[in-house]
Chains A and B, each alone.
Chain A
Amino acid sequence: MKKTYDLWEYLTPPIRRIIQFFKILLFTMVISVLGVNTITANSVVSSGASESGYQQAGITGTVTDATTHEAMIGVNIQVKGTTVGAITDINGKYTILTADKNAVLIFSFIGYASLEIPASGKVIVDASMTSSSTVIDEVVVTGYATVKKQSLTGAISSIKTADILSTKTASVASMVQGKIPGLMIRKRTGEPGVFNSYISVRGFGTPLLVIDGVIRDNMSDFERLNPNDIETISVLKDASAAIYGMNSDNGVLIVTTKSGTKGKTKISYSSTYTWKQPTSQGLQNTTDAYTFRVMKNEMSRNYRMPEPYSATELAKWQAGTDPGYTDYNWYNGTLRDGIGAWNHNLSITGGNDIITHYTSFGFMNDNGLFTDNATENYKKFNFRTAFDAKLAPGLTFKMKVAGKYDVKMNPPQTFFWIFKQMLVSDRGIGPYTLATVDSPIKHYSLVPSENVNVFAKTSASADGYQKNVNYQYQLSGELNYDLPFVKGLTLNVLGAFDGNLAQYTQFRGSFILYDYRTDAPGSPTQATIDESMTNFIRSDVQAKISYKKTIAQDHNINALFVSEVRQINQKNVGGHRQYDDIFTTAYIDQASTTNQTTNGGFSQQAYLSYIGRFTYDYKGKYLAEFSAREDGSYRYAPSSRWAFFPSASVGWRVSEESFIKNNLPIISNLKIRGSYGQMGADAGNAYQYVPGYKFYTPINPSNPGGNPLSPIAGGAILSPGILTLGMMPPGIINNNLSWITAKTADLGLDLSLWKGKLGVVADIFQKTRNGLLATRATAVPNTFGASFPQENLNGDQVKGFEVEISHKGTIRDINYGVSANVTYARTFLLHYERSPYQSTWDIWKDGNNGNGRIQGRGWTDQKAGTYTDITQYETAPLIGGTLGNSYGLPGTQMVKDLNGDGRINGDDQLPTIWSQAENPPLQYGANMYASWKGFDINMLLQGASLFTYSMNAGDTWGYKNYPSMWSFWLDRYHQADPSVDPYDPAAVWIPGKYAPLQASWSGTSQGNATNQWLIPCNYLRIKNLDFGYTIPANLTKKFFVKDVRLAVSIVNLATFSRKDLKKFDPERESGDWQAGLTYPLLREFNFTLSVNF
């Protein structure tokens, strides 16, 4: 006894906890072994061919897909009430041997609704099966396993190839947007090659990404997958994600790629041509050079300043004929109206009983909107292959190899600046100097107000370019062995090795800007080159034991144990050089060594996990699942690096109860399920427990981020001319830092009526996080000399619901369906570490950060109306600043003096803004489809609410800072007679939507950020409209082509929203400075030809 005890002590705690968990499992297994009446689950299904010598009457037929009309391979057909069955061959044909002329045939296939067709004496029975996401026979990929949808106890949604491919666009995220309840996606940019959509499960944050059973965590990798290669995507939204342990608290996105299918080799080719244009054209509307100058006079007059343009000068601008007096629309010169892109995909699949294969090639050529196409484009090549082989009875081997090569080109300057330059450049200055505009060698002109030239900035031959090249590969191999001596026991080993080599080049050219009128040259810009290379390696090894058993017919148990090791290494080197006198070529060794710099980095991660799961169901009626995971992270001290993540979920299939079955046959499925689990997330800087001296790099106390104040290097000059590098003593050692814990609860209902005609899936959920990082507000005095390390102090909570309702049906030959989903999730802070409140005002204002107020709100002043008469300023509350209201005019917004102190300041604000970044808390989508013979149509609606588009009136939108003006400002208060002093109370004003134009907003309330400048966003957009026609097979067969499909699909066809939101795209972020100067989202017209051979 004692010896056993010692061994127990010797084991590490994670192993011990797992063993304890499996004690329960063992106990159950013992019972099962001792159990009586153990029988095999099912009789062997007989194949279609005749086994015996004597003839029996048979029924034959063909099974096709109701939507695609393709023959279906491998459909299971069974004679109801018997064990007689058959499977369709590669042509979708079957023969079933039965003497019963009135047999009822049950057709079943994974992911399709089962059919029961009475033979009614016929010898040929054809069947057309409908694929459905609500059908209950579907198999769903969950953590480390697949589960029949009807047995699911967690909140898991999934989507299959066909439903993904109904939308055609460059990013997989955009292709599934609006289609999966609970998966919130917001596209941020239409820039080619940029994959940075906000992806979040139920508003939790970025989920964990698993591709083919391996954590391959980079959402841009998800977006860049070849969508044709995806078999299914599962989204684990609740405690079911806990099986993935660390970092699964935001949910898990599981992508399973295609494997080979048995049968004759099938070749598919599809090609899509896309024409793209910006969704919102409103941005380009700046006033022309003449109108702007008229307005410039008006704004000067309205601010008691002399008018800068004389009548004769204005007349010249109005005529626009003299050189130097013409209008130039920068928008049209910089951006195209639209651009084309190509996408090609080829896949080959086939196989036999021993081996199956799948191989695909994809190529995408995407282009940007800039006139100079060399500066902005994206090319991607995908390759993927999968082999499944049966090596021996019970022993199978799977291999997957995927590769990707992509190249992205974009200008060195960020798009914000380019768009800003495009829209604030003086339209009275042309891109080339007057002297050279007609000559073959043109000089770029210097354009106010940014004093650059956006043409030069978007030209690869002038300002240069940035180039990102990625070579990515993902390899995995898996051996699976069903042990013959213990039925139901399976061993499995999976190894994966991924890598990515990223090459980055930034080349800045040397060019000169000349004075527009005099052609006088400025100084040339410095040509430079930066190159860097990053190598990323990930390896993952998993070993699995699983055991499956049915006891006494009704008790199904399933147990799984996995151990997993995951390691990640990343290393980068880079350098910078400049070109001194001559430009050679854009390779770093061809530039001069003047001022050259180098940089490099290395990082490592390692994780070790033990995973156990046990599921049980009784007659498929009562379902339960328990799982536990022990995760070790390299990040923390050995004493606090192991995390234990248990979870449990239960389900009750009420519809299996006889009282429903017998009394309410309209209910084909009703399941109530609930789950609860504990998850976690890595947090904090790694190695805080390791003491050691570091290089001393002073930080700027007033701006710890860095610029604009740059600290000089650490160390000191102890001998003339020699810098002795400085080492900094260790900070506070942090042994207490640990992971963030999250507890997730979910209550859900699955309902299906009239055999799937109406389906409802509804969930409410709550996720509570504890241990978010924070530094104790009052931990140590600042005389201690070191900052207190971060601890796991803060907490927050997300609550919400999601509902999906679907209906599908058939009217004569028309199959149709509609489904709609909505997700709402909001976040509260539970605990927020801060120094004590000083006043009740403090509490109210800071309620943002505690006391249960919903997160994601911003504060602004409140608009109280519009001043209509200049005398109203005599009693108006004062605007801050020394000028007060001295420049107030009729037409300007009144700002509410909330606290009535006669002054407008920060104390007069209310939380009026919803965050405009990240995912809006309320999102919805609806999908509709119909098919008739070879025609099909599919429409996806997608929308979001509870966010705000905030125009920052004070800056970029403000004409007063720039020699350019958006034309919407023309709808303004202005004087009937401009010769009257605007400050004369007798002046007559013609009202407009906006306040009078003024050269400065000091001394007026024009610039106050009130709700006047906020546009509440609610939008619904036709995200996708897809119309396709499949040419009947009997026509195409002659050409050895199985089927041909032509489709037109339009992405972002139309958007329904408030009128003033139309000039933006509501889905896009307002970006830097809240100026809306981000890359436009695109409306895409896709023309697709798909051919199957």
Chain B
Amino acid sequence: MTAGASPFGQSIARVGGVERVTGAQRFTADLKLDGVLHVKLVHLPVGHARIIAVDTSDALEVAGVQHVLSAADLPQPVPRFGPASRDRPVIASGEVKYFGEPVAAVAAESEDAAAEAAALVRVEYEELPGVYSIEEALAEGAPLVQHPDLRGDTPLAHTNLLGEWHFGWGDVDATRADVVIEGTYSFPMVSHFAIEPFATMAAVQDGVVTVWSPIQHPFVLQRVIADVVGLPVSSVRIIAPDAGGAFGGKGYPKYEPLMAFLALRTGRPVRLVLSLEESFQASRRAACTVRARTGFDREGGLCFQDLEADFLIGAYADIGARVVSKASYTASGPYRTPNVRIVARGVLSHTVPSTAFRGFGVPQLAWAVESQLAEAARRLGLDPLELRARNLARKGEDFIPGDTPADGDWEQALRRAAQAVAWDTPAPAGRGRGLAMGLKSSATVSVSNAIVRLHHDGSVSVLVGTSDMGQGARTVLSQVAADELGIPVDGVRVVMGDTSVVPFDTSTSASRSSVFSGNAIGLACRDLRGQLCSIAAELYGEPEEEIRVDGGRVHVHGEGLAYGALLKDYFGPSRGELIGVGRCRARYLPEHPLGGAPSFWELVAVACEVEVDETTGEILIHKLVTVSDVGKAINPQHVEMQDEGAAVMGLGHTLMEHLILDEGGRISNLGALDYRIPTSRDLPLEMATFMVENQDGPGPYGAKGAGESGILAVAPAVAAAVQAATGVRIRDLPLTPERVWRALMEKGLSEQPIV
């Protein structure tokens, strides 16, 4: 396809890297609009309350305040939105349903004026009993988080169950197993804590509503804004500056609809930058409790997996139903399990709306399932490596009956991880090792479009609806285009982040962009190459079949013409361009539980070696290794960077991260001081990431997606290693020093005093 060195598969420099190291990169909060009004939100120190009255009179007296908006100012009934169901009001309406839900929004000439006025908005409210945990939400007589009238046509309308899903095959109850492992596992609420707090702006001009947001899915936001404001999609423009980290937390609309209304009300551009604390109150991962029963035969073969998973969703569904169903569908992991029963529930609660978060429900389930396997290995006296290898689905195997077969040599990843921690040698004294695997379904039904414009000078613009939130989509996709057209990567400019310019893309999620956008770009480039052949045939009278496009040139009559030269001949002095279009779509399958089959599987194997200070409970990770099955790395350095980052993020929920609620549903550890995430001093002593590249994915050159696998199985690997080192088994995350200490105490291993 291309002569000379193609950038495909090379670790080329990040596009946009220079801007980021010089401070020139403009994130949403860095943008300035003329005449902008600064917005501050008003929220109450409660988890659940009835709003009795909102008095804005004092706030309006503050110099510079232009508007104070509350539910009363909006069309009645207050418009509602959501990516899956229209359940969320633009602003709290009648009730505050989670700690941080805005009750009013002040727009003023300066941030100081807005903050001053926000403090003067008087809200009369009555605190109400709320449900803040799965137990509370499901208890008899529990207050309903959402009014039944708003739940649509579901038998669950009078409950706090958002949904209940049943998956599986075979017959678990009829299956006999020699050994059954039972356990209940908990995974906490965790915050995305992107270093960029959430920010958004909106403006209205000439009947077009423009919204700026570091949103991962600009076209979802476009649709939601159009719907909630009552405009055609063509009258809504989303500009999405690259996000300063997102991890799923910036995927779905939050306060953008509110800002659109503010812009319409005031007739001025409006700007909202959340504090870090408010960002904590805007999105989080769903907490999860899993009751697992796993049956094995004496040789360690899996007989059945019987899983009940309850996910604590927040006050509004957001994408919660999808998180629960998609993750639960594959809960049994990358294994051959003849009998599986999965019952998964999404439970509404008066808490911050949970949303997508890297791994999309899989880390929560892998925590349980992989811990079960670790326990089984101990009980059966088997090597955890061999136990997994015995049960791993082989490439091509139909491990989820009727669905996408296993698409990788997963045992290769498993053994690579084990080898990297010298698994077959005894661990040094006082240390223990653990292994775990994680499997995630990639994107199912979705579509990516690409428009590739070949300019008259031979340079190329690639228009795609994907977003770059740090994962390097811009770079990777420019490599794909450069490779397809045989031109240097410098000749390609990727355009993203403006729905008025770029074509529709479902989302930047599910690790799908390299495959979907990559394929779409490939198709668009092939379209261009076809057009080049066609115009060359027309110009030079050579049959089209005899014309080749190769190495960045069009070969006609034994001569290789540069694209620019050909276009010049074709269009003449008034110039022109060629436009190639490509679309990559995964089919919508209404009968499929996920709406479509997984395009590929994201798989990781994790191995680690730890040491535990049995006096304090502190864990020291000597080695942490992840191996991801990626098909083909378009930019190897980018994949490694993502995997490392995902692994460290996994260490966060493994060792230290959890949102703590008080009895009133307020987040107690709100902010960076008491919500701890890993720093450079919290790293394993040795960390490594590896890739398995067998070119067996559906993307360009056999690529699969990447970016999420690294986080999927860190927790169970570490917990298994802790058990190996100390004998204690812990089923709740995070493994804080105090939790580990307590487990050691209960096991009688830690006696006072010990030095």
> A and B bound?
no
